[in-house]
Amino acid sequence: METHVMQTLQSGALYRNTIENLEAAGNLINLNPNVLERLKVPRRALVVSVPVRMDDDRVQMFTGYRVQHNQTLGPFKGGIRFHPHVNLSEVAALSALMTFKNSLLNLPLGGAKGGIQVDPSTLSKTELESLTRRFTSEIGPFIGPDKDIPAPDVGTDSQTMAWMLDTYSMESGYAQTGVVTGKPIEIGGSRGRDSATGLGVVYTIEKALQSKNMMISDANIAIQGFGKVGMHAAIEAYALGARIVAVSDVTGGIYNERGINIADLVSYVKENRFVKNFPGTAAISNEDLLELNVDVLAPCALDGVITEKNCECIKAKIVAEGANGPTNSVANKYLHEKGVLVVPDILANGGGVVVSYFEWVQDIVWLFWKEDEVRNKLREIMYRSFDKVWQFSQEKNKDMRISAMAVSLQRLETAMKLRGQAW
Ligand code: NAD
């Protein structure tokens, strides 16, 4: 591949980290070198300029991306991120993580990711809608219910998906509800999608605690990020009797060693937008939250928060990665050697794409499931995936990250060989 393209991809720590993990797991299972070569780079990367007429009539240009990593197992699938740090390298790394996640979870889907470099909080609703619609139009030829199915990620939500669905359907001339997942229930969304990623995180926390002979009802938990993943992880863990001692968002965190009433906090955040100043709690920084003496730490915000700089200060027994890429390779190695069980992103936060898959299936057959059905099927897949990774890690005496990657690669290798993609 062209050197400058490789240089761009490798410019980001998350991409380098993902390839390092891929190579380590590949070596562990003697992965076919041709399979490894193909998986190191995305299949297709689209960069688009998105003009938006702002409220003051000025035209502002934004840069958007859609990276399609691999479609051996099925159509490309992955979220859309609106964040100021979005760049080609990050989106490519996240698209590769989607390939590995979907393979690990045994879904018939490939991996993709997209995003726009923008701080959505600085745009009016009209500007945000224009941005989303124009972006959808630009990537339109490359997405579709049978080709590539976007979903929400950081800074996007079910409303974003509704605008994408509408734009894509307008341009097709008929309703294509299966083009995105994570959309509102009224227009083809699945029950249980909003809470799916957080619930999946909690199912893996339950399993991780079991491996240490602990129950979630006896555990105390700190959660970084109180968005779609962190808030629902808090709600679900709280409902199971866990003590949530700290949570945070971009403005900082709150702490109460006796536990925070999550139901009240959710109402508070609806009114006040952020968790800060929630009555009965003390302020804590995002950095200090990571170092609390808790049973479980769930980083559910952004990547690169647990590194060589702070890993020696992590006191949790279990780290459940709700976010993508929160722990880098150096920190992962250190924590594993110290006996901390790190449940890696492609396993811990897989609940979102599992229910996205359920949503996509429901849209194909136009038959919708009850929430209980969604939750039960999700639990089955999360428990089964955890068990597979746990068994591999025990047999090979390896950490959960390399084990998850190895289990995922075994399925991908078989599929690529069957399709004649590796010789
Ligand atoms: P979100 O935008 O709904 O929430 C992000 C949260 O993180 C917010 O509370 C925000 O205030 C906080 N945050 C942002 N910057 C921060 C910072 N610098 N320090 C501390 N907190 C900060 O996003 P989300 O959908 O909850 O995604 C969170 C993570 O989970 C991302 O890594 C995403 O890729 C991953 N993920 C999301 C899904 C999903 O279904 N939404 C699925 C799998 C993985």
Q: What is the pLDDT of residues 45-69, one digit of tens each?
A: 999 999 999 999 999 999 999 999 9
36 Cα to the center of ligand 1, angstroms: 30
138 Cα to the center of ligand 1, angstroms: 25
**Percentage of residues in the chain having pLDDT higher than 70:** 100
**Percentage of residues in the chain having pLDDT higher than 90:** 98
> In the chain, where does the domain assigned CATH 3.40.50.720 lie?
196-348
2 pLDDT more than 80: no
**Any atom of ligand 1 within 6 Å of the Cβ of 154:** yes
Mean pLDDT of all residues in 259-269: 98
pLDDT tier, 422 (very low <50, low <70, confident <90, very high otherwise): confident
Per-residue pLDDT tens for 64-97?
A: 999 999 999 999 999 999 999 999 999 999 999 9
Mutational pocket test of ligand 1: of 83, 90, 101, 249, the residue with most ligand atoms within 8 Å of the beta carbon = 249
**Segment holding 289, helix H or strand E:** helix 286-290
How much is the pLDDT for 188? 97
**Any atom of ligand 1 within 6 Å of the Cβ of 155:** yes
Q: Contact 42/5 with Cβ under 8 angstroms? A: no
How much is the pLDDT for 72? 98
User: Ligand 1: which residue has its CA nearest to atom 4?
Assistant: 227
What burial letters (b/e) apply to 114-125, b meaning 16+ CB within 10 Å? bbbbbebeebee
**Any atom of ligand 1 within 6 Å of the Cβ of 291:** no
User: Ligand 1: which residue has its CA nearest to atom 35?
Assistant: 323
Neighbours of 194 (CB within 10 A): 21
How much is the pLDDT for 4? 87
CATH number of 3-175: 3.40.50.10860
Per-residue pLDDT tens for 170-220?
A: 999 999 999 999 999 999 999 999 999 999 999 999 999 999 999 999 999
Per-residue pLDDT tens for 217-233?
A: 999 999 999 999 999 99
Amino acid present at 266: V
Which of 101, 113, 207, 398 is catalytic? The answer is: 113
CA-CA-CA-CA dihedral for 199, 201, 206, 211, to nearest 10: 160
How much is the pLDDT for 331? 97
- The CATH number of 196-348, from 1.10.10.60, 3.90.1150.10, 3.40.50.720, 3.30.465.10, is 3.40.50.720
Mean pLDDT of all residues in 374-382: 98
**Any atom of ligand 1 within 6 Å of the Cβ of 356:** no
1 pLDDT more than 80: no
How much is the pLDDT for 374? 98
- What is the C-alpha to C-alpha distance for residues 335 and 372, in angstroms, rounded to an integer? 36
**Any atom of ligand 1 within 6 Å of the Cβ of 229:** yes
Tell me, yes or no, if 113 is annotated catalytic: yes
Q: Contact 154/86 with Cβ under 8 angstroms? A: no
Mean pLDDT of all residues in 307-313: 98
Q: Contact 257/245 with Cβ under 8 angstroms? A: yes
**Segment holding 22, helix H or strand E:** helix 13-28
Phi and psi at 151, nearest 5°, equal -155, 170
322 Cα to the center of ligand 1, angstroms: 8
> In the chain, where does the domain assigned CATH 3.40.50.10860 lie?
3-175
pLDDT tier, 383 (very low <50, low <70, confident <90, very high otherwise): very high
252 pLDDT more than 80: yes
pLDDT tier, 155 (very low <50, low <70, confident <90, very high otherwise): very high
Mutational pocket test of ligand 1: of 128, 203, 231, 250, the residue with most ligand atoms within 8 Å of the beta carbon = 250
402 Cα to the center of ligand 1, angstroms: 24
**Any atom of ligand 1 within 6 Å of the Cβ of 221:** no
pLDDT tier, 5 (very low <50, low <70, confident <90, very high otherwise): confident
**Any atom of ligand 1 within 6 Å of the Cβ of 349:** yes
Mean pLDDT of all residues in 295-303: 96
- What is the C-alpha to C-alpha distance for residues 295 and 316, in angstroms, rounded to an integer? 5
- What is the C-alpha to C-alpha distance for residues 66 and 92, in angstroms, rounded to an integer? 9
| Three-class DSSP category at 277 | coil
Mean pLDDT of all residues in 22-28: 97
393 Cα to the center of ligand 1, angstroms: 28
Mean pLDDT of all residues in 333-347: 97
- What is the C-alpha to C-alpha distance for residues 96 and 39, in angstroms, rounded to an integer? 8
User: Cα 394 vs. chain centroid, distance in angstroms?
Assistant: 26
**Any atom of ligand 1 within 6 Å of the Cβ of 249:** yes
Structure tokens at 386: 């955890």
How much is the pLDDT for 302? 87
Mutational pocket test of ligand 1: of 273, 300, 356, the residue with most ligand atoms within 8 Å of the beta carbon = 300
Mean pLDDT of all residues in 126-141: 98
Secondary structure of 121-138 in the HEC alphabet?
HHCCHHHHHHHHHHHHHH
What burial letters (b/e) apply to 154-171, b meaning 16+ CB within 10 Å? bbbbbebbbbbbbbbeee
User: Ligand 1: which residue has its CA nearest to atom 34?
Assistant: 324
User: Ligand 1: which residue has its CA nearest to atom 31?
Assistant: 323
Q: Contact 140/67 with Cβ under 8 angstroms? A: no
415 Cα to the center of ligand 1, angstroms: 32
The whole-chain average pLDDT of the chain stands at 97
**Any atom of ligand 1 within 6 Å of the Cβ of 115:** no
14 pLDDT more than 90: yes
pLDDT tier, 3 (very low <50, low <70, confident <90, very high otherwise): confident
388 Cα to the center of ligand 1, angstroms: 27
